[in-house]
Chain A
Amino acid sequence: MLVIDDLSKTYADGTRALEAIGLSVKQGEIVALIGGSGCGKTTLLRLIAGLDQASRGFVQVDGETIAEPHPSVGVVFQEPRLLPWLNVADNVGFGLSGLGRSERRARVTHALERIGLAEHGGRWPRELSGGQQQRVAIARAFVAQPRVLLLDEPFSALDAFTRKGLHDQLLDLWAESKPTIVIVTHDVGEAVTLADRVVVMRPRPGRLDETVAIGLARPRDPVAATYEEAVRRVLAALDHSLRPAAANRPPAPETRASWW
């Protein structure tokens, strides 16, 4: 169980990045955070990961407060961030130095098979395509068997075909150990494909707006009427979040255009 309560982040210069975020995510649930740039999605993810400190409020995983990186919380960044001097297998096993050699090798081999890179364990990261590198990064996070996995726009740099394949592999890996997943995205289709719940964020300061429950069985069929309907509901929620609240400035037209 991931619990976020009254979480706020104000930078030293007074910029309010996040304001009173409250969110509970059941174990094994997949939540997508969606919204335009500047609404604090990445900031929120970094606070959950323990990479940055909150100004107020807290994050708890299974009752334990997160103040710094925690073994229960894994992260996949927007860029693969593989270590170029380690081969693919050693990159996948990077976080497993506490384990015995045979256990480590078993987990790495298994993960490489699951992401379809079993033959590539001995290659250097630079020899892989962007999509393959991001798969290695996902495997690196999964082999540590986190309770909560955070993904920060992990597929945004990839083309649509590659992205579709990676969605399937992510869900495959997720089905094995059922970690809680929080994924930041600005792709409505991606959110509806992956998530049980889509949470829309609003900018300046970053807040949670509407939540859209998806409630579709997996695997999801992107041409099914129910899928289309879910996409429409998320779009409606996004559109709504762009409308100025009473005390807010009207949104700039260019933020509106940059979304889909």
Chain B
Amino acid sequence: MGGVPLLRRGGRAGLGLLLPLLLAIGWEIAVATGLASGRLLPPPSRIGATLWELAASGDLWMHVEATLIRVGLGFLFGAAAGILAGALVATIPVLRWLVDPSLQALRAVPSLAWVPLFILWFGILETPKVLLIAVGVFFPVYVGVSGAIASVDRKLVEVGRIFRLSRPALARRILLPAVLPATLVGLRTGLGLGFLFVVAAELMGASEGLGYLLVDGQQFSKPDQIVAAIIAFALVGKLADMALVTLTLPLTRWQDTARDSL
């Protein structure tokens, strides 16, 4: 049963690549034949060469590393805070009535609006950058965790009561596995937002990082560097997402079996 849809899916993915490939080749030809200057949008070959140069000189890795450290730290703090706040708010009603409305209001603030305030408070070094990313990561994780805990099946909790599980055992053997899938979805969304926000954070002033490559490319009119940085962002973000999914896959295998057998 698995073979035919898989093949069809592979075929569709290939079909999806067709349009960008055609456009890239078309643009390459247009610039090569002098139909277009390629000054504002360099042809793929030049972007590739720039990317290669950056990689060969080691600059690319330095920038990737700087960006990854920021996202990593922001993700760590934001996710930890989100899990903690989500768990507390979902389990303590008073806290929910007290804190949740404020958090929901803050969630509605476009996160870039914090940038000036953070710069004012923390300067332009690493602190405001990591903090901004953490804010971006916090909310999806918070919403995911608190929602998951609130919707844990009471009937399964009752099974725990029948077998007289202590409160810690109930948390470990029933609540934790029950909220894990939604928590992981929250973490994944959070990681995606982390990469979104690291750009904003690095745009506010940085001397390294992929975001810096963007600003630098704009200021010195190097569109090939801008596009190279965009491609690097896409690759790094995708790889980080894949790493997160792969690392957490064993935890939700009981859920994924259904998807596998489709």
Q: What is A's interface to B at a CB cutoff of 8 Å?
A: 49, 51, 68-71, 74-75, 77, 79, 81, 83-87, 94-95, 97, 124, 126-127, 144
Contact = CB atoms under 8 A, between A and B. Distances in A.
Contact of A79 (B155, B163, B169, B180): B155
B254 A49 contact: no
CB-CB nearest 6 A-B residue pairs:
A95-B163, A85-B177, A85-B254, A75-B162, A69-B162, A81-B159
A83 B155 contact: no
Interface in B159-185: 159, 161-164, 169, 173-174, 177-178, 180
Contact of A74 (B162, B169, B178, B257): B162
Given A77-B155, A126-B258, A83 B162 contact: no
Contacts of A87: 254
Contacts of A83: 156, 159, 174, 177
B162 A126 contact: no
Interface string B136-167: 00000000000000000001101101111000
Contact of A144 (B163, B169, B173): B163
Contacts, number: 47
Which of B156, B163, B255 has the most chain A CB atoms closer than 10 A to its own CB? B163
Contacts of A70: 164
Contacts of B255: 84-85
Given A85-B177, A85-B178, 11 more contacts: A51-B162, A69-B161, A69-B164, A70-B164, A77-B158, A81-B156, A83-B174, A85-B254, A86-B254, A95-B162, A95-B163
**A contact face: mostly helix, strand, loop, or mixed:** loop
A49 to B, nearest CB: 7
Contacts of A124: 254, 257
Count class of interface residues, chain B: 10 to 19
Nearest to B254: A85
Contacts of A69: 161-164
A120 B18 CA distance: 46
A244 B149 CA distance: 47
A206 B203 CA distance: 70
B158 A81 contact: yes
Contacts of A81: 155-156, 158-159
Interface in B81-96: none
Contacts of A95: 162-163
A95 B161 CA distance: 10
A81 B180 CA distance: 18
A97 B173 CA distance: 11
A234 to B, nearest CB: 29
A127 B162 contact: no
A84 B179 CA distance: 12
Contacts of A144: 163
Nearest to A46: B158
A166 B261 CA distance: 28
